[in-house]
Structure 1
Amino acid sequence: MQTREIPRGILGFPVTPMNDDLSIDYVAFQRNVEFLIENGLESVFIACGAGELHAIDNEEYEQLIIKAKEVVNGRVPIYTGVGGNITAALQQTKLSAKHQVDGYLILPPYLIEPSQDGIYEYVKTIAESTELNAIVYQRDNCTLTVDTLKKLAEIPQLKGFKDGVGNIEVNVEFTQALGDRFVWINGMPLAEVTMPTYVHIGYDTYSSAISNYIPYVSKQYFEALQNGDKQKVSEIYEDIIFPIHNIRRQKKGYAVSLIKAGMQIVGLPVSTNVRPPIAPVEPEHYEALKAIIAKAEEKYGNLKGDGSYVSN
């Protein structure tokens, strides 16, 4: 029987690069995945929010899985994104199982604001549709109570909980009630901002958008946080995290397009093209990000010839 790994540490979320005609650039996608692995990311989550799951069809979805598996070659766990339309989600879980990935992240249902029993049935139906590992992503139209999460904990395929809401009181309830039943993942926008708080309530894993272009910053930040190096954490906040966070808050959709901009700035073969309704980064924000990355490279790392980084 296949042993499926549970992701921990810093999780990598590659983008879905687009050509000028908005077709998928699979070569650039594979370079993105390889870059994350080269730089120590311990898993890759493809076709999730950063990967524009909302904007790709099943044929493209399957090709992304195939191309990711070619690159990963068993080195780290592969997870996919599933969700939105329940029918589409079940097609996605079927494709994920067909290609034997480790599991999938269950994104919220589209449009509908369901009741707790509705959310339960949505997550349960998706999680039980295969034997793959499942992680539920709490955000938007999928906000759980502790009683609902306890019921979901009875589903053996459900291995993790990712929070994108940020209600610390509720998260304390969750971790106290369920302990080590789940891998607890911080999925807040630019998770580095909130990770110190999450660590103290039992979250030891987070998704890192900036790892797509400055992974050495994420690594040094998390190591400093784990080692109690408050000065280093504070410096990275002031130099890198807060400035990027401030740009990201300027426009909806920057959760995706700002990542692509950062990747282009560091020389990865990724354009800033995104599919509607996401809009590309404004020129002034692009230049501001460029300046932040230059400071990051000067103070925290440097770029090697193969496109990966070493820390200073």
Structure 2
Amino acid sequence: MTEKRMAPTGILGFPTAPYNENGNIDEQALEANIQFLIDSGLSSIFIACGSGEFHALNKAEYQTMIEVAVAVANHKVPVYSGVGGSISEAVELVTLSEDLGVDGYLILPPYLIEGEQEGLYNYYKTIIQSTELNAILYQRDNAVLQLPTLQRLLDEFPQIVGVKDGQGNMELNLEFTQTIGNRVEWLNGMPFAEITMPAYKGIGFKSYSSAISNYLPHISRMYFEALMEGKDDIANEIYRDVLLPINHIRKQRKGYAVSLIKAGMEIMGFPVQNTVRPPCVPVEKEHYEQLKKIIENTLAKYPIQNKAVSNS
């Protein structure tokens, strides 16, 4: 059980699920990915979530990824696992995660069904009441809570420490932040969250999940600090030079939100092949070369000052 009911803040690390030549989880590559994120100053590790291809993992692989994350983190930063699927599977994964020593979990949208608010309430309730671990709710796709439902859950379950938004409904987000305030941490979980962070910052979001940190963490750090310190000229420059060009590639194919991370990591020399499991597709050669050029230009203009960047 986590002693303090606090969600991770700042830049949140979401490792990938690297595969070897046989298509199995490459544990050494995963260790390197997680260690790099920690050394680069990210505040936390969210393992086997969207970037980690939760949808494509079997239970043994899921367990392996959590075991590696917990071992590498070694209490230096909190580790959160992704849970979801059917309600029975989600509870099973929470129990497994707790047994393996995670600090909390992120509840991913349930499969396919778009339930009524009462159905979503009961889905979350069943999962959360099964453990004392910290829980973070994820607003996305077919799982979008309205204000009364979220308030009901927060009133009943102190385990809920954060709400991650991947929906982009700013009117609803404003309802949340202006009504609920700092009862929870508000996390920007939009695909390529740096792109939307200027808008989210303005309504009370101070944390985001960073895909680009898997290969350019110093850029995410520079950008985050510029935003938080009101250095708009620096933030805008990074936005134009780096973030928008990469985001343009990300939008070319469905599933690039996952596979583009691995392509970037491979370009930067990490032992991660540009491979993903269906239904995602690997990055096409043309887009791969475009990303490579962007990274080269980025490193030329914004060189890495230190191998490890401290978390402030």
TM-score relative to the length of structure 1: 0.96
In structure 1, give the amino acid aligned to 2:92.
Q
Matches within 5 A, 1:88-107: 88-107=89-108
* Structure 1 residue 310, shift from structure 2 partner: 6.4
| 1:8 is the counterpart of 2:9 | yes
Task: Give the structure 2 partner of residue 190 of structure 1.
Answer: 192
CA distances 1:37-78 after superposition (whole Å, capped 9, x unpaired): 010001000000000011111111111111111111110000
Task: Give the structure 2 partner of residue 256 of structure 1.
Answer: 258
Task: Give the structure 2 partner of residue 112 of structure 1.
Answer: 113
Task: Give the structure 2 partner of residue 288 of structure 1.
Answer: 290
Aligned residue for 2:49, secondary structure, equals coil
Q: 2:264 & 2:123 partners in 1: Cα distance?
A: 35
In structure 2, give the amino acid aligned to 1:210.
I
CA distances 1:83-112 after superposition (whole Å, capped 9, x unpaired): 122222111101111012110000001011
Aligned residue for 1:161, secondary structure, equals strand
Inter-CA distance 85–215: structure 2 relative to 1 (3 Å threshold) = same
Counterpart contact for 1:20–1:273, Cα < 8 Å? no
Matches within 5 A, 1:1-312: 2-3=2-3, 6-154=7-155, 155-302=157-304, 308=307
Aligned residue for 1:153, secondary structure, equals helix
Unaligned runs of 5+ in 1: none
In structure 2, give the amino acid aligned to 1:3.
E
Counterpart contact for 1:19–1:273, Cα < 8 Å? no
Q: 1:279 & 1:179 partners in 2: Cα distance?
A: 39
Counterpart contact for 2:139–2:167, Cα < 8 Å? yes
Inter-CA distance 89–310: structure 2 relative to 1 (3 Å threshold) = closer
Unaligned runs of 5+ in 2: none
Aligned residue for 2:304, secondary structure, equals strand
Counterpart contact for 2:45–2:80, Cα < 8 Å? yes
* Structure 1 residue 130, shift from structure 2 partner: 0.8
Aligned residue for 2:141, secondary structure, equals coil
Q: 1:291 & 1:112 partners in 2: Cα distance?
A: 41
Q: 1:141 & 1:301 partners in 2: Cα distance?
A: 41
CA distances 1:9-54 after superposition (whole Å, capped 9, x unpaired): 0000000101122111011001000000010001000000000011
The alignment-based identity, stated in percent, is: 56
In structure 2, give the amino acid aligned to 1:92.
L
Q: 1:299 & 1:135 partners in 2: Cα distance?
A: 37
* Structure 1 residue 228, shift from structure 2 partner: 0.9
In structure 2, give the amino acid aligned to 1:144.
L
* Structure 1 residue 3, shift from structure 2 partner: 2.3
Counterpart contact for 2:39–2:309, Cα < 8 Å? no
In structure 2, give the amino acid aligned to 1:173.
E
Inter-CA distance 123–2: structure 2 relative to 1 (3 Å threshold) = closer
Counterpart contact for 2:70–2:101, Cα < 8 Å? no
* Structure 1 residue 302, shift from structure 2 partner: 2.8
Counterpart contact for 1:302–1:309, Cα < 8 Å? no
Alignment RMSD (CA, Å): 1.4
In structure 2, give the amino acid aligned to 1:139.
R
* Structure 1 residue 194, shift from structure 2 partner: 0.9
Inter-CA distance 50–80: structure 2 relative to 1 (3 Å threshold) = same
Q: 2:305 & 2:284 partners in 1: Cα distance?
A: 25
Count of aligned positions:
308
Counterpart contact for 2:14–2:46, Cα < 8 Å? yes
In structure 1, give the amino acid aligned to 2:259.
S
Q: 2:7 & 2:249 partners in 1: Cα distance?
A: 32
TM-score relative to the length of structure 2: 0.96
